[in-house]
Amino acid sequence: MQKVTLYAIFIWFLAILFYFFEFFVRIMPATISENIIHDMDITAAQFAIFGSSYYVTYSLMQIPVGILYDRYGVRLFLTIACGICTIGVFGFGFADTFFSGVISRLLIGFGSSFGFISLLILALNWFPQKYFAFLAGLGQMLGAVGPLLAGAPVAFMMHMLHNNWRLIFFGIGIYGAALTVLIALFVRTKPKVEEEEVVYLKTAPPLSRKLKQLMRIPQVWFIMIYSGSIYVSLPLLGAYWGTLYLQSRGYSRPAAALMISMIWIGLAIGSPLVGKLSDYFHRRKPFLLMTAFVGTIASLLILYLPIENKLLLSLLFVLLGTSVGSQSLSFAVIADNVPDELRATAMGANNSSITLFGAVFPLLVTWIMQARGSHAAIYTEADFEVGFLLMPIAFSVAFLVALFAIKETYCRTQATVHMIDL
């Protein structure tokens, strides 16, 4: 029976630190959007392209990442990924044009694409499978410290540094460089095989065959649609327009950033909680349904109920983030539905769906707001309300997919034949 060791925890913690790193640099531009737009002399639409540049490379790399990890393991590519992400962070900190900013965000997205999948693969390889859903949620919770620090703390730091956001990027780049060295030295893909173990080797199928096999499983498609739909509010509010939206409602930037950061507290609560409850009750579907329903209601209340109380509004953002926590559960569901040799590829495909939705929806929202006739960086509350209507729509789509299409797995691998005594 596989045991939990201190070395396993240490390796997994290094993967958490990288996930924290990439999550921080993914979200931080939303907090300082006004300064970036001003200093680079760009429009709000061009700023939205910065965010999408990250998500495009991140999304496109998810299936290749899964395939690379399936074939070659985690250590080499996680080291390279952390290094590339660090180069992108330094590049964006020194960028002074729209083009150089896009290139830097593309590099950050490319490097970041290896983060969450490595976390999942290391959890599968180093810990008993019964802990997987909980560890996926716990990883999401610990990683959420990144966007939490990228919100209100960055807003206050900007005040202390006289709006010198480039200095913050330089500091986080130093962190990334040190982490790259630690990953190269200590991360291993899986525990060493014990001498008494008998290992059977089999020829790995061609990559094209693995992809075809994966895409022939209908549940994979349904889970990808669910997880992408449930996720869209996070980048929309956390990485793009959340702070400016609340500023349009009359709040100061520090107050707006603090309330938006409540989304990440909700995510930190919801991800491990939903996973733990799912494992405890041996059910997946009820929790997929419940979180999608809660997200629909919370997003509607935030947008269309005239709430002035900061505490109540913050609690609604916590509830919204908690509902998004089921996207971590979706990785456990997709792992239940595929054979062992396809797990990394399947989780990469699921993460690709999540990030693809995260790239497309904010651009669509920005286009809707611009179509109302507003100009760069001066969107009104009414503009945001019209564009953000896509949030409750996306949650509703996730609910309907979970209700009518996703099947209950009872926390068991569906590709395995289970013997039943009659």
What domains sit in the chain, N to C, each tagged with a CATH number? 6-190+206-404 (1.20.1250.20)
Pick 25 or 345 by higher pLDDT: 25
Please report, for the chain, how many H helices and E strands are present, in that order.
Answer: 21, 0
Position 418 scores a pLDDT of: 43
Give me the pLDDT at residue 193, please: 57
Q: Which two tokens stand for residue 288?
A: 């997929």
Of 319, 163, 104, the C-alpha closest to 233 is 319
**Conformation bin of residue 377: beta by default, left when phi > 0, alpha when psi is -120 to 50:** left
Q: Which of 354, 139, 136, 99 is nearest to 225 (CA)?
A: 354
User: DSSP string covering 200-220, please?
Assistant: ---PPPPHHHHHHHHHT-HHH
| C-alpha gyration radius of the chain | 21
- Better pLDDT: 106 or 129: 106
What pLDDT does 289 receive?
97
Q: How far apart are CA 1 and CA 171, in angstroms?
A: 43
Burial label for 194, CB within 10 Å (0-12, 13-18, 19+), is exposed
Closest CA to 275 of 102, 134, 149: 134
- Residue with tokens 């399947």, as numbered in its chain: 346
Q: 301 pLDDT exceeds 90?
A: yes
3-state SS of the chain: helix, strand, coil percent to 5?
80, 0, 20
* The pLDDT of residue 196: 46
Residue 210: is its pLDDT beyond 50?
A: yes
Higher pLDDT, 37 or 407: 407
**From the centroid of its chain, how far is CA 46?**
22
Average pLDDT over residues 256-278: 87
399, 292 contact by CB (below 8 A): yes
Backbone conformation region of residue 48, classed left if phi is above 0, alpha if psi is from -120 to 50, else beta: alpha
Q: Which of 69, 63, 107 is nearest to 208 (CA)?
A: 63
- Predicted model pTM: 0.75
- pLDDT, tens digit (0-9, with 9 covering 90-100), for 58-88: 878 877 887 787 777 788 999 999 999 999 9
pLDDT in tens, 109-165: 999 989 888 888 888 888 887 787 778 778 877 777 887 787 778 888 888 888 889
CA dist., res. 407 & res. 388, Å (int): 30
**b/e per residue, 330-366, with b = 16+ CB within 10 A?**
bbbbbbbbbeeebbbbbbbbbbbbbbbbbbbbbbebb
pLDDT of 321: 92
Is residue 178 predicted with pLDDT exceeding 50?
A: yes
Task: Determine the Cα–Cα distance for residues 105 and 84; give it in Å rounded to an integer.
Answer: 11
- Sign of the alpha-carbon torsion through 389, 391, 395, 401: positive
